[in-house]
Structures are given as structure tokens and as C-alpha cells.
Chains A and B, each alone.
Chain A
């Protein structure tokens, strides 16, 4: 079964600091990878995704993530965070084909607090 590990449960940064949130998954086959974000009081929404092509993908609000197949990783980055980036971030993985294709497995989440 696939699993997703997010290394940091809670990250606290000052505005303008750089961000990197770690995500590793455990599945040897082809995968689709996602980062979702949940702002306080709002529903979960898709931040960015990778399924093929350039392993460096860009999402909304200046976020990017890099897929490194050899490390089974899909880390989320932002060069300069803002107070409005305070949220909970979830990494997720699914398989593009086969049994239960499209059913996503989520990590435990990382809470990011950005101090103004």
C-alpha cells in the first residue's frame, strides 16, 4: 500500500523567510503527486500537482515543488513566505492506473505559521 510521510508537523517562520516542506512517498510505480492547502476556516484546495514532464512544477501564490524520483520525494518550496501563507499543507499521492486508480493517500499535514 502506498503511504506518504511529511517530516515536519509544525513550522514557524518569519515573513520573507524561505520555505521547504518535505514529503516522501512509498510506492515504486508511476504516481501522481499533489500538494493541497487549507487556510484557516477554509476548505482544502489544490496548490499544485505533478504527473509527468518537467519535475519542477509551479503552483498558485508562488509555490513550487520538485519531484525527485530517486528519492521518492516531492518537496514544496517558496522563496519568500507571507503572513497569508499561514495554513495547513498536505502532500498526497495516487496511482494513475490499476486498482483504485485515483484514490489518494494523504500525509499527516504540516501546519505553517508565518509571523508578521
Chain B
């Protein structure tokens, strides 16, 4: 069964901490995405990547950075966590040349910043 795996289901971090959220996919997908999901706001794109070492800003990149050193892994970094970054974070992947296929999502990481 193909998968997108997010390393943590729940995280609690303190304000000011550097936080790493990890995502790994085993489908050889070129595209990977990080979204945050908040009630009433849907899914908002933070960053995405079309290839190794490539990254592009999404709609809400402020306070975040990403790393993609290997095709299967896409990391989201909160440089200095703040309480307004408390949210559900979703990782997704897709095939670069198959936009009709849609996304495969991970189970999400619920981050609480205290």
C-alpha cells in the first residue's frame, strides 16, 4: 500500500523552539507539498517542491522553511515556533506529469505551541 508518512501524529513544543516536521513518501512522486489545516480556513499551502533541492513558496510561507535533500523526504521547519502556528500540518505528494491523479495525503501532524 503506497503511503505518505508523517513522522509524528501529535507534537507539543514551546514558543521559540525550532521545530522539524518530517514527511516521507514511497511512491517516487516528484511533487511534495506542505499545507496547514485550520477550522473554517480549509487547507492553505505553505511550501511545495517539484524536485530535489527545489522549493517554492506557497500562500503562507512566513515563519516556515523547507528542505528537500532526497526525493522521498520533504521537511517543514518552524524556525522559531509561535502560538499562532498551532495547527494541523498536512503533507501531500503527487506525480509531476500527472496532474489529473490528485494528491496522496499523510495522516497529519497536530502541532501545539505553548
Residue A74 interfacial (CB < 8 Å): no
Total number of residue pairs linking A and B with CB closer than 8 Å: 58
Interface residues of A in 79-115 (CB under 8 A from B): 90, 92, 94-97, 100-109
B75-114 interface with A by 8 A CB criterion: 90, 92, 94-96, 98-100, 102-103, 105-108
Residues of chain A within 8 A of B94, CB atoms compared: 102
Q: In the A-B complex, list the 5 residue pairs whose CB atoms are closest, starting with the nearest.
A: A102-B99, A108-B42, A51-B100, A106-B43, A44-B105
* Interface size of B in residues (CB-CB distance below 8 Å): 24
Contact B48 A103 (CB under 8 A): yes
Q: Give the bracket for the number of chain A residues in contact with chain B.
A: 20 to 34
Find the residue from A45, A49, A92, A102 having the highest chain B CB count within 10 A: A102
Which residues of A have CB within 8 Å of B106?
43
Q: What distance in Å separates the Cβ of A114 from its nearest Cβ neighbour in chain B?
A: 19
